[in-house]
Structure 1
């Protein structure tokens, strides 16, 4: 399946998540980590950007877990993705839940060209490590947010600890994720992401790590950015 919207997409990555699309909203499925993580990231985003009555874009929204939860907080949410199957699942769940989200199959770069500075808040969570050119996504997100608006990213650090926990641990030992979900070579050190953020005209507001306890199955905010981390930015 080809995706003419942009060259900054790996068809194998899109197809990988498309094959699992029907399981997005099963909290016991391969997407359990996203369901477990979502309250934490939602609370962090809302605490900084105050989502109520804001116009929000969720980049790489998948089946809509974060998109719907932001809409529940009173935001007007648009979710974009290049997986048609995931978006169909998101649309169906939106109808079932009664939570309105506007979903569209379009690349973030194409939307930035069409609707620059159209959003108060842009989120791009757990996506950068799945695209060939993360800096292109960062730049497009910066173009899409209004001056003074917030952009949020989350990704995985490229450290031995991240390989041990996010790849070997999560995919092979605990089997929380399907094997091959992550490519360690695509993990992004915070300094690399920070450089792309500043180059795009954004200023960093906060960087927080996320830690996971496999015994309690609970995620917590942390200063430890060795594995999962989130960055809050503001457009200058």
Structure 2
């Protein structure tokens, strides 16, 4: 297990225990598989706008470096590699990295997977990266403020970071914690700690003083009738924000 201020050993152990099932669309990560299309579209569209790329091209992001922090089994890393990004993907769990690396190799994809942390990358002078993905991770770390600052500092001048997390609201407690874990059984009990959810204004405050501008939140909601996620104006449960680094 990678060590560092951003690492919560209990959280790493919880996800490590399920590492072999990351790519099982009907297993414990089934909600992420359903969630992935809306995340991928948001990332693609935001990156295309930021870097002036044409998404009609087969590999529109060729030549750009991407860092996927807390990559898990690579559910975002692999599609990003297919879009042309040069992908470095890190996770604090050795088992997650092993599962991700094996799956990517089977797909013929070249992804630089590492068992590491944001603070270690920063200390080692890694990057900078044109795009940093910080997706559904900040609510699982020990020090969210330092973690967000470290990950923002890994972005290149003129680059960007995309943050996705859960809002600390009563609605999120009811739906994302109690509903998802104990009623619908979408997630294993204990996956989330509601007290660690972040309000959008807290994300902004943590990054205050950094050479970045923060946009959003951009809400994401689940439609049970259509059985799909989509972008909405409602950021009371799931939301994403873009962090744009000054050039």
User: TM-score, normalised on structure 2?
Assistant: 0.91
Classify the secondary structure of the residue corresponding to 1:199. coil
Contact 2:6 2:118 in 1 (8 A): no
Match of 1:104 in 2: 114
Over residues 138-172 of structure 1, what are the superposed CA-to-partner deviations in whole Å (9 max), with x where a residue is unaligned? 11111111111010101000000000000111001
User: TM-score, normalised on structure 1?
Assistant: 0.95
- Following TM superposition, by how much is the alpha carbon of 1:200 offset from its aligned partner in structure 2, in angstroms? 2.9
* 2:17 corresponds to which of 5, 16, 19: 19
Match of 1:213 in 2: 223
CA distance in 2 between counterparts of 1:144 and 1:116 reads: 7
Contact 2:5 2:143 in 1 (8 A): no
Contact 1:68 1:94 in 2 (8 A): yes
5 Å-filtered alignment, 1:65-84, equals 65-84=75-94
5 Å-filtered alignment, 1:155-166, equals 155-166=165-176
* 2:125 corresponds to which of 92, 115, 134: 115
The reply to whether residue 233 of structure 1 matches residue 243 of structure 2 is yes
Contact 1:57 1:119 in 2 (8 A): yes
CA distance in 1 between counterparts of 2:103 and 2:190 reads: 27
Contact 1:14 1:82 in 2 (8 A): yes
Runs of 5+ unmatched residues, structure 1: none
* 2:104 corresponds to which of 87, 94, 102: 94
* 2:188 corresponds to which of 151, 170, 178: 178
The reply to whether residue 136 of structure 1 matches residue 146 of structure 2 is yes
CA distance in 2 between counterparts of 1:7 and 1:122 reads: 19
* 1:35 corresponds to which of 30, 33, 37: 33
Classify the secondary structure of the residue corresponding to 2:6. coil
- Counterparts in 2 of 1:102 and 1:117: CA distance versus 1, 3 Å: closer
- Name the Cα RMSD after superposition: 1.3
* 1:52 corresponds to which of 61, 64, 79: 61
- Following TM superposition, by how much is the alpha carbon of 1:36 offset from its aligned partner in structure 2, in angstroms? 1.1
CA distance in 1 between counterparts of 2:183 and 2:208 reads: 37
CA distance in 2 between counterparts of 1:232 and 1:25 reads: 27
CA distance in 2 between counterparts of 1:73 and 1:231 reads: 21
Counting matched residue pairs gives: 234
Match of 1:9 in 2: 7
- Following TM superposition, by how much is the alpha carbon of 1:125 offset from its aligned partner in structure 2, in angstroms? 0.3
CA distance in 1 between counterparts of 2:155 and 2:5 reads: 22
Match of 1:124 in 2: 134
CA distance in 2 between counterparts of 1:126 and 1:80 reads: 14
CA distance in 1 between counterparts of 2:191 and 2:153 reads: 29
- Following TM superposition, by how much is the alpha carbon of 1:116 offset from its aligned partner in structure 2, in angstroms? 5.1
- Following TM superposition, by how much is the alpha carbon of 1:41 offset from its aligned partner in structure 2, in angstroms? 1.0
- Following TM superposition, by how much is the alpha carbon of 1:46 offset from its aligned partner in structure 2, in angstroms? 1.2
